[in-house]
Chain A
Amino acid sequence: MKSLRSFHLARRAILTTTIAVVLFPYLVMGVTLFKPDDELTASQRWLPQSFSLDELIAAATDGQVWTYITNSFIIATGVTLVVLFCAIPAAYVLARHQFRGRTQFMDVILITQMVSPVVLIVALFQMFSALDLLSSYSSVIIASSAFVLPFSVWLLVGFFSSISNEIEEAAVLDGCSRFRIMTAFVVPISRPGIAATALYAFIYGWNEFIFSLTFLSGAPDRWPVTIGVFSNAGQWFVSWQPLMFMALMGSIPILLLFAVLQRQFDAGFASFASK
């Protein structure tokens, strides 16, 4: 009995510590917003000593942060659309048809997971520069999409192969073409899987850093919020309250989206882990 009690105590200690560590940056963002300048230079206290809303209001009414947010939204939406357009048809034929080269295609997709953006960044910079696509949203969207694609195809293949064959066979007897089977049966049935994939792509696009940093360095009006925050934090004199406001605005949309769709996401991960 005693060991059970100490087990419960240990568990509570681990869970509480974990929560505190996980939430630390969000708490920092939250309290910094309300502190006046002189409380941020010397030894800081957790709670603001003289509560001030001025900095927060100034930050929220500054147009720059909303430009960054809009840019993040454009990039994230672009990545989601490109990934769904590429991944759905590929995953459909990979999951439901046998053909020569199928295994090889899956292997290529797996191998690309070994490659990271930083390894290709120089060559991609050269390529987009030669195509005159630097400083454009599309360079960031296309490059990010390629890095989202492999995992997305894997996720969708898992969802698509779990649909029973009978539906497809009945549709074939009815004279449906493959394309129609995909759009009218497979896609609607797999809505949770497609939602999980779209969410994954959107989060990646919203949070992307290195491509925007490199390709958009000459176009501050196209910077997403990640680059906006990073570049403001690199100034000689940093005003932290607007910066924390920006960081908060950069994380909240994703956190809300994630909290709402978490169940579907879990299902996606679970099917991936059990393979």
Chain B
Amino acid sequence: MTMTASTEKPGRREIPLAVYLVPSAALLLAIFGFPLVESVITAFQENKGVRATPTWTGFANFERVFTSPIFWRVFAQTVVWTVAVVAATTIVSYVLASLLQEKFRGKRLFQIILMLPWATSIALSAVVWRFGFQPGGLINRTLELVGLDEVAWLADTPEAAFALIFVGVWVSVPFTTVMLSAGMRSIPNDIYEAVALETNSVVSKHWHVTLPMVRTVLLIVTLANFVLVFNSFPIIFVMTEGGPVNKTDILATLLYKQAFTFLDFGAASALAVVVLAILLGAAVWYVHTLIHAGKKT
């Protein structure tokens, strides 16, 4: 650093460092900073879309949100959806990532195929899944081929919830597997060799070496998945639109419909503030108790 400073000739024209940050800062301010403030303001207004004039209503929107039985039901559904998708994704990805640590024929092709769901638009794959889950669709056809009964997948819960969670996992596994696999690859081989002297069990190898070594990557990728899945919009909006009667809604789809179907921008913004508070709270708790605690020991 001092090297750079001392060789800087006086009088040479340099663009100040801050200027390099201006485009990024402006973009973040316009798309995150300003709308965050705007959301909070709208949450305290009666606001019926862009053509109506907003009026101040204090905490009325929040009161309406918290006293509505739909909110609490959808909140519970959001928790179930998030926990189910993130947990299943983590388990499936962990197994796949550990299989990818070994050599086998066609491994490269397998890795490319595995990433396809990540590279495909969720909106497009969700439309195709919806078509597949239709009563006469190819999912039921495949179940019949292996001797199972037809299911009316998207007509009611819990079948619809199961179908959505399945697609949620299908979307989330690729990225999670790649991250975990990269984490596992960076574990030095001599640790495994040392453990191999004591035990031959696959389970204890994972429990004593792999799991502790990928802990940080695992925690970070789980946090990322938590945020993504909690807010996940296209899968549910495309496949069931939250129906039948809110039974598969999560807060994200409820918020969207509140704003753009019912044109109630005030209540939608109050919901947005609540969602944001939940996420920030959960993230701060998570980072403090899990990630930092692990680093200290």
- Chain A contacts to B: CB under 8 angstroms: 7, 11, 14-15, 18-19, 21-26, 28-29, 31-32, 41-46, 82, 85-87, 89-90, 92-94, 97-99, 105, 108-109, 112-127, 129-130, 142-143, 145-147, 149, 153, 168-169, 172-173, 175, 177-179, 203, 206-210, 214, 225-227, 229-230, 233, 240, 243-244, 247, 250-251, 254-255, 258-259, 262, 266, 269-270, 272-274
Q: Are A122 and B259 in contact (CB under 8 A)?
A: yes
Q: Are A146 and B31 in contact (CB under 8 A)?
A: yes
Contact (A28, B128) CB under 8 Å given A93-B17, A274-B182 = yes
A-B contacts at CB below 8 angstroms, number: 264
B238 at the interface (CB under 8 A from A): yes
Q: Which of A124, A153, A177, A225 contacts B31 (CB 8 A)?
A: A124
The stretch of B63-71, B118-126, B190-198 in contact with A is B118-126
Interface of B, helix, strand, loop or mixed by DSSP: helix
Cα separation A173 to B34 with both chains bound (whole Å): 43
Residues of B within 8 A of A127 (CB): 34-35, 38
Residues of B within 8 A of A243 (CB): 127
How many residues on the B side are at the interface (Cβ–Cβ under 8 A)? Answer: 91
Which 4 A-B pairs give the minimum distances between C-beta atoms?
A146-B31, A123-B35, A207-B121, A116-B231
Q: Which of A11, A43, A123, A177 contacts B42 (CB 8 A)?
A: A123
- Chain B contacts to A: CB under 8 angstroms: 1, 3-4, 7-9, 12-15, 17, 19-21, 23-25, 27-28, 30-32, 34-36, 38-39, 42, 50, 95-96, 99, 104, 110-117, 119-125, 127-132, 136-138, 140-142, 170, 178-180, 182-183, 185-186, 202, 217, 224, 227-228, 231, 233-234, 238, 252, 255-256, 259-260, 265, 268-269, 272, 275-276, 279-280, 283
Cα separation A75 to B31 with both chains bound (whole Å): 17
Q: List 10 A-B contacts (CB under 8 A).
A: A19-B110, A86-B24, A97-B17, A114-B276, A122-B259, A169-B3, A175-B9, A203-B119, A255-B119, A262-B112
Interface of A, helix, strand, loop or mixed by DSSP: helix
Q: Are A153 and B122 in contact (CB under 8 A)?
A: no
Cα separation A41 to B180 with both chains bound (whole Å): 42
Residues of A within 8 A of B23 (CB): 85-86, 89-90
Q: Are A86 and B27 in contact (CB under 8 A)?
A: yes
Q: Are A273 and B217 in contact (CB under 8 A)?
A: yes
Q: Are A93 and B20 in contact (CB under 8 A)?
A: yes
Most buried by B among A122, A142, A147, A177: A122
Q: Are A178 and B14 in contact (CB under 8 A)?
A: yes
Given A118-B272, A123-B42, A244-B131, 5 more pairs with CB closer than 8 A: A23-B113, A114-B276, A142-B31, A149-B24, A229-B123
Q: Are A250 and B28 in contact (CB under 8 A)?
A: no
Contact (A122, B128) CB under 8 Å given A172-B7, A207-B120 = no
